[in-house]
Amino acid sequence: MASSIQVYDTTLRDGTQGEGVSFSVEDKLQIVRKLDELGIHYVEGGWPGSNPKDAEFFKQARGLSLSRALLAAFGSTCRPKGRPESDPNLLELLNAGTLVVTIVGKSWDLHVNRVLETTLNENLRIIRESVAFLKSKGLTVFYDAEHFFDGFKANAHYALSAIKAAAEGGADCIILCDTNGGSLPSQVSEVFQRASESVATPLGIHAHNDGELAVANSLAAVRSGAAQVQGTMNGYGERCGNANLCSIIPNLMLKMGYACLDDGQLARLTEVSRYVSELANLSHNPQLPYVGASAFAHKGGLHVAATIKCEESYQHINPAQVGNTQRVLISELSGRGNIMYKARELGLASLPKARAQAVLARVKDLESKGFQFEGAEASFQLLMVRSQEDYRPPFELVDFMVVVEKHRRPSRRAEETLSEAMVKVRVGDAEVHTAAEGKGPVNALDQALRKALTQFYPVVAQVRLSDYKVRILNEGAGTEAQIRVLIESRAGDEAWNTVGSSANIIDASWLALADSLEYWLLKTHQANPSPLLLDHSIP
Ligand SMILES: [Zn+2]
């Protein structure tokens, strides 16, 4: 049977030290539940002695019923010259009411002398006594040996004495920390070897990512006997982050044959990774290995053609093992295979080769004119729909006019800029003419188009624009540059992206806006029935 590795998540404590990461108490409780479902063994909730929010979290966490995960509270050893039983920080740890506590202490002589400002012997005493005090309360005690690798480099004898003190105190696991994140995997292996010869206590690893080696260092530590790996979801953490558990866990299980989570739980990894980024209010990094949206995305025509024949030809694992999916991107690099793949994804069993070829030619032509379909799937789907000879669009533009006027009203002191748009569209045999004002020219155009369409298609009112991005494509050309507009629209839980490109920003916006509404009309079956209706979920 495969030996098993304990996973200790510190997203809620060390992870929140990352720039831009912040969780409310409610967020933290929800993340604990999610990590428990994923099967994480230990979840560090915070440092109750350092801030009231973490103390409140532990109060509320008592009500959680977890099936697997054990909650851990974090703190540090007692102060020099102090006694553990009267140390406010250690007493706060007891108050947190968890079965597991983790305390951090110094192992680098430089830190003992210059930062803690005490003697080397006094530091050993506070480590030993703090661990022993918490053990005497019947708790599972993990000891984080801060700066262990740097300390070992500076004074190996002292660094080893520091973990021996934790072992004498009775620590259940001693975690060697690469706090500054600059160690190499070969160094980690060597130091682990030496540490495991010095103490009988199980060892763990806590690595930071400053040399982009946190995952590699964690795996090297496991190879050298670490029984526990600490890290965070998506690698959140101070500076360049902590070791990313979303990479470590699948590497341990799928590549190195260790037992860690149940197989069924591993298949939830992508979902949990995205859930945590959602609550952190950070966009999920598409390039994250295993769990990122691009981790199994294929763009080049040759790769796609090969993956269609044989899925594993360009993938290191089956994405389903970590709950991710293969994606095929559409771009000027595509081959006919990309188009056929997309057609199948849309439920079109047979897209005639000639038509796939025509769609591909159109994609390449439009991309050369500044469109980009990779980030605008809805526009690409419309391209496929429009390739049918019998397709009749739900509306067609006859013309539009946009007026932007800046003037000073005598009654008010401020200058005002007014935007108004007039739109003429054809719906079936009817021609409608509307006008609307807006906060800017694009907004006015959007309002006027909606006004024209709502009487025929009330569902248009469901659509709201959630993001509007403008990109200048040939920067050197200044105000004559080609412009790409990408729009994200939403209705209920659904979101879709459309693109427009032109030398004129209003024109580019119009194309993306019109695509957005046309897409929703097809999706909600408001347009002429077509064998190519997009009634499949938006990928
Ligand atoms: Zn850390």
pLDDT, tens only, 357-366: 888 999 889 9
Decide which of 202 and 535 is more confident: 202
Distance 69 CA to ligand 1 centre (A): 20
**Cα(529) to centroid of ligand 1, in Å?**
58
pLDDT in tens, 457-504: 999 999 999 889 898 887 777 777 889 999 999 998 889 999 999 999
| Distance from Cα 289 to the centre of ligand 1, integer Å | 21
Task: Provide the pairing of β-strand 70-76 with 100-106.
Answer: parallel
> In sequence order, what are the residues at sequence separation of 6 or more whose Cβ sits closer than 8 angstroms to the Cβ of residue 157?
none
Distance 449 CA to ligand 1 centre (A): 53
pLDDT band (50, 70, 90) for residue 526 = low
Q: From CA 411, how far away is CA 244, in angstroms rounded?
A: 60
Q: Cα(110) to centroid of ligand 1, in Å?
A: 18
Q: How far is the CA of 155 from the centre of ligand 1 (A)?
A: 21
For residue 352, how far is its CA from the centre of ligand 1 (angstroms)? 56
Question: Measuring CA to CA, how many Å separate 506 from each of 272, 400, 509?
Answer: 40, 10, 5
Placement of tokens 């006694």 in the chain: 83
Q: How far does the centroid of ligand 1 lie from the alpha carbon of residue 99, in Å?
A: 21
Q: How far is the CA of 14 from the centre of ligand 1 (A)?
A: 6
The fraction of the chain above a pLDDT of 70, given in percent, is: 95
Residue ranges covered by each domain of the chain: 6-262, 297-372, 396-523
Burial 329-358 (b: 16+ CB within 10 A, else e): bbbbbbbbbbbbbbbeebeeeebeeebbee
Distance 136 CA to ligand 1 centre (A): 26
How many angstroms is it from 211 CA to the middle of ligand 1? Answer: 14
Which of 155 and 377 is assigned the larger pLDDT?
155
Ligand 1 centroid vs 85 CA: distance in angstroms?
Answer: 26
pLDDT, position 531: 40
Residue 536: band (very low, low, confident or very high) from pLDDT cuts 50, 70, 90: very low
Asked if pLDDT for residue 529 goes beyond 60, the answer is no
Give residue 222 CA to ligand 1 midpoint distance, Å.
18
**Which of 167-181, 405-419, 450-464, 522-536 comes out lowest in average pLDDT?**
522-536
Q: 482: phi > 0 → left, psi -120 to 50 → alpha, else beta; which?
A: beta
For domain 396-523, the CATH architecture is 2-Layer Sandwich (3.30)
Whether residue 213 contacts residue 182, with contact meaning beta carbons closer than 8 Å, is answered with: no
Residue 115 burial (C-beta neighbours within 10 Å; 0-12, 13-18, 19+): exposed
What spacing in Å lies between the alpha carbon of 37 and ligand 1's midpoint? 24
Name the nearest CA neighbour of 489 among 461, 451, 508, 527: 461
Are 6-262 and 396-523 the same fold in CATH? Answer: no
Ligand 1 centroid to residue 19 C-alpha, Å: 14
> Do 54 and 93 contact (CB within 8 A), yes or no?
no
Q: How far, in Å, is the centroid of ligand 1 from the Cα of 536?
A: 44
pLDDT-wise least confident of 316-330, 441-455, 524-538: 524-538
230: CA distance to ligand 1 center in Å?
9
Q: Which CATH class is domain 6-262?
A: alpha beta
Find the 182 Cα to ligand 1 centroid distance in Å: 13
Q: What's the CA-to-centroid distance between 270 and ligand 1, angstroms?
A: 23
User: Measured in angstroms, how far is the CA atom of residue 242 from the centroid of ligand 1?
Assistant: 7
For 334, the token pair is 């595509």
Tell me, in angstroms, the distance from the centre of ligand 1 to residue 518's CA. 50
Ligand 1 midpoint to CA 208 (Å): 6
pLDDT at 133 > cutoff 90: yes
pLDDT of residue 532: 45
User: What average pLDDT does this structure show over 160-184?
Assistant: 98
Q: How far, in Å, is the centroid of ligand 1 from the Cα of 238?
A: 8
* SS3 annotation, 464-502: EEEEEEEEECCHHHHHHCCEEEEEEEEECCEEEEEEEEE
The CA 38 to ligand 1 mean position distance, Å, reads 22
- Write down the mean pLDDT value for the chain: 91
pLDDT band at 305 (very low <50, low <70, confident <90, very high): confident
Residue 106 DSSP SS3: strand
Query: In the prediction, which pLDDT does 282 show?
Result: 85
Distance 535 CA to ligand 1 centre (A): 47
For residue range 225-242, list pLDDT tens digits in order.
Answer: 999 999 999 999 999 999
Distance 8 CA to ligand 1 centre (A): 12
In this prediction, residue 413 carries a pLDDT of 65
Residues 6+ positions from 442 with CB-CB distance below 8 Å? 468, 505, 506, 509, 513
User: Do the Cβ atoms of 123 and 162 come closer than 8 Å?
Assistant: yes
